Amino acid sequence: MSEYIIKNGHVFDPTQGIKGDKKDIAVKDGKIVDKVGSSAKVIDASGKTVMAGALEVHAHVAGPKVNAGRWYRPEDKHFDSHKTAGITRIEGGKSIPTVFKTGYEYARLGFTFAMEAAMPPLYARHVHEEIHDTPIIDEAALPVFGNNWFILEYLKNHEVENTAAYIAWILRQTKGYGVKCVNPGGTEAWAWGLNCLTIHDPVPYFEITPAEIIKGLIEANEYLGLPHSMHLHQNDLGNPGNYKTTIDSLKLAEGIKATNNFGREQVLHSTHLQFHAYKGTNWGDFESGAKEVMDYVNKQKNLTIDTGNVTLDETTTMTADGPFEHHLHGLNHLKWFNVDVELETAAGIVPFIYDPNNAVFASQWAVGLEIALYAKDPMRCFITTDHPNAGPFTRYPRVYSWLMSKKVRDERLNSFKKADKVISATNLANMDREITLYELAAMTRAGPAKCLGLSKDYGGLKAGMNADIAIYNINPDKFPSTGPEIEKAFAQVAYLFKSGKICVEGGKVVDMGHKETFWVDAKVPENKQVMHDIKEKFLRYYSINENNYPVPESYAPHQHIISVDASQ
């Protein structure tokens, strides 16, 4: 396998505390090594920024609701379906890219890993078919548990061991990575047209509360010692005043210590926090709750979050928070897609136009930036757009420009049609902080890798780690000063190394690499009760047979399996 020496680049690596020093990075046989021979190919990185490949910690990129979004939005391909010369396939879709475009675009941005945020277990085969067809980047998927009938019944009786055994079984059946929890209890209520808006609203029939579900899933996750923590989309998303429910939910993690062999320190990852950080009582007196929420997050070392930044685009919202989507459809009257999934979850989709002329949407934009700017520990706060909910992931460079330059974001803030209203409803105007390249590396590489339990081999440039490396045309000594220049610098890497192979060069895809599907195989003690319950539910309630439920091996030809032994 090839040897490379990346010479003279400005290296930003929080795993080693390197803050822009010029350093050579040596690559051999897919790994970063201490040194290579003289025949190694030289990559001249002088005047460039070198970081590990970025990790997307939460995006909707593969699966049934993503594809439903593609189906029902032919207009999303309008003006945005094309093929570039070279080895790439036709690329399409602005807010919901096709799988080819998803892989290429993430790679062009310097990403080498993406986590599909929500996988309904019944549809796992679909998720893996899409992951299989997505080129270059490694991927994993999080099965959803927060509205699953098994989970609701076990946690009602606080049966953490049974919960853990069932989770382990699902991870194996679906080749899943961890525990995702969306709108706990509320999405089961949605199957009757209802919802759970606070953590104490009981789920119809099952009579368990979101609080019990959240706590129980955190405990089960730690019982198993999974590489990632429980990953939570809180109740009451998107509503003014929801910051209280958010803090109530986060408080459930207090006092719980992370148990795992992967270096993970958090027990709860709270996702797209922007949507959950609103004060006020209605859209008229809507205000940013980012400070209140981040004050809490900053104090609690066992939490990680991702931002969910609004990008002010026409985009598509899609989430397992089914009742929220119905509610959103009632607000903007754009076409609504919904599917309730037996025993497991639901999903909803509604297109959304974050018009900058609208004071509420502009304030949401500010809230998202505040979340990142208030974060004291960049290793615990990651940058996302909850793609495509708050905006397409292809807008990351724009988000970086707002975070890294007060001038650029103030330009945007002051030019809003309702700027006065936005400034008075939020804190952003008074915030001077500018995220540095080093902090960015923490928020997009080292932090997400650690949060996902991958810090041994990913998210950094230490010898021994996987050679996933992004080289940007950014000279830290001459950091670009305008928004468009910052965006351009981050939009197309000079080089992307994926497992030691150059896959993108000069922004152009030159190799499809050898992507892997990551999943977690957790061993638990034999649990006859859970196996009986599974058999029973498949016989009586599911619409497919138990033997047809697992994802066949052929769907993931290259698997990266992380083994966990919780069998004591």
Partner 1 sequence: MPKEVTDVICPFCGTLCDDLIVSVSDDNKTILGVKNACAIGAEKFNHQRQPGRVKLPRMRQADGSYKEISYDEAIDWTAKMLVKSRKTLMYGWASTSCQAMSIGHEIAEKVGGIVDNCATVCHGSSLIAIEDVGVPSCTLGEVKNRADRVIFWGCNPAHAHPRHMSRYSIFPRGFFTVKGHKGRKIYCVDCRYTDTAKCADEFIQVQQGFDYELLDAFRTAARGEALPDTVGGVPKEKIYEIVEDLKQARFGVIFFGMGLTHTMGRNHNIDIAINLTRDMNDHTKFAIMAMRGHWNVTGSGQVLGWQYGFPYAVDLSRRDQARHQTGETTSVDLLNRNEVEACFYIATDPGAHFPVNAMISSSRKPTVTIDPHINCTTEISDIHIPVALVGVEVGGCAYRMDNVPIETRKVVDPPEGVLTDEELLTRINKRVDELMAKGGQ
The one among 21, 42, 44, 71 contacting partner 1 by CB under 8 A? 71
Nearest alpha carbon to residue 476 among 20, 110, 27? 20
Strand partners, 382: 306
Report if residue 547 touches partner 1, rule: CB under 8 A: yes
Contact yes or no for 484/402 (Cβ under 8 A): no
Q: Could you tell me which stretch among 46-54, 59-67, 285-293, 461-469 binds partner 1 (CB under 8 A)?
A: 59-67
C-alpha span between 419 and 252 (Å, rounded): 37
> Binding pattern to partner 1, positions 307-326, x when CB under 8 A?
-------------------x
Report if residue 90 touches partner 1, rule: CB under 8 A: yes
C-alpha span between 348 and 358 (Å, rounded): 24
> Binding pattern to partner 1, positions 112-141, x when CB under 8 A?
----------xx-xx--xx--x--------
**Which of 54/189 has CB closer to partner 1?**
189
Nearest alpha carbon to residue 270 among 184, 347, 202? 184
* Location of structure tokens 């040194």: 35
C-alpha span between 3 and 1 (Å, rounded): 7
C-alpha triplet 11, 17, 21: angle, nearest 5°? 35
**Which of 547/568 has CB closer to partner 1?**
547
Q: Could you tell me which stretch among 42-50, 78-86, 215-223, 370-378 binds partner 1 (CB under 8 A)?
A: 78-86
Report if residue 367 touches partner 1, rule: CB under 8 A: no
Residue 323 parent element (H or E): helix 322-332
DSSP state of 110: T
Report if residue 96 touches partner 1, rule: CB under 8 A: yes
Contact yes or no for 527/534 (Cβ under 8 A): no
Report if residue 542 touches partner 1, rule: CB under 8 A: yes
3-state secondary structure of 27: strand
**Which of 100/354 has CB closer to partner 1?**
100
Contact yes or no for 133/99 (Cβ under 8 A): yes
**Which of 122/170 has CB closer to partner 1?**
122
Contact yes or no for 463/432 (Cβ under 8 A): no
Number of residues in contact with partner 1 under rule CB under 8 A: 58
Give yes or no for a cis peptide into 388 (omega within 30° of 0).
Answer: yes
Report if residue 173 touches partner 1, rule: CB under 8 A: no
Q: How far is the CB of 64 from partner 1 (least distance, A)?
A: 6
The one among 191, 203, 253, 562 contacting partner 1 by CB under 8 A? 191
Report if residue 540 touches partner 1, rule: CB under 8 A: yes
499 Ramachandran zone, left/alpha/beta (phi>0; psi -120 to 50): left
DSSP assignment of 254-286 equals TTPPP--SS----SEEE--GGGG-EESSSSSS-
**Which of 169/382 has CB closer to partner 1?**
169
C-alpha span between 512 and 196 (Å, rounded): 44
Q: How far is the CB of 139 from partner 1 (least distance, A)?
A: 13
C-alpha span between 292 and 302 (Å, rounded): 17
Range 338-357, binding partner 1 (CB under 8 A) = 338-343, 349-350
Q: Could you tell me which stretch among 36-44, 46-54, 83-91, 251-259 binds partner 1 (CB under 8 A)?
A: 83-91
**Which of 7/156 has CB closer to partner 1?**
156
**Which of 438/555 has CB closer to partner 1?**
555
Q: How far is the CB of 113 from partner 1 (least distance, A)?
A: 19
**Which of 64/448 has CB closer to partner 1?**
64
- For binding to partner 1 (CB under 8 A), which residues are involved? 62, 64, 66-68, 70-74, 76-77, 81-83, 89-90, 92-93, 96, 98-100, 122-123, 125-126, 129-130, 133, 149, 191-193, 205, 326, 329, 335-343, 349-350, 540-545, 547-548, 552, 555
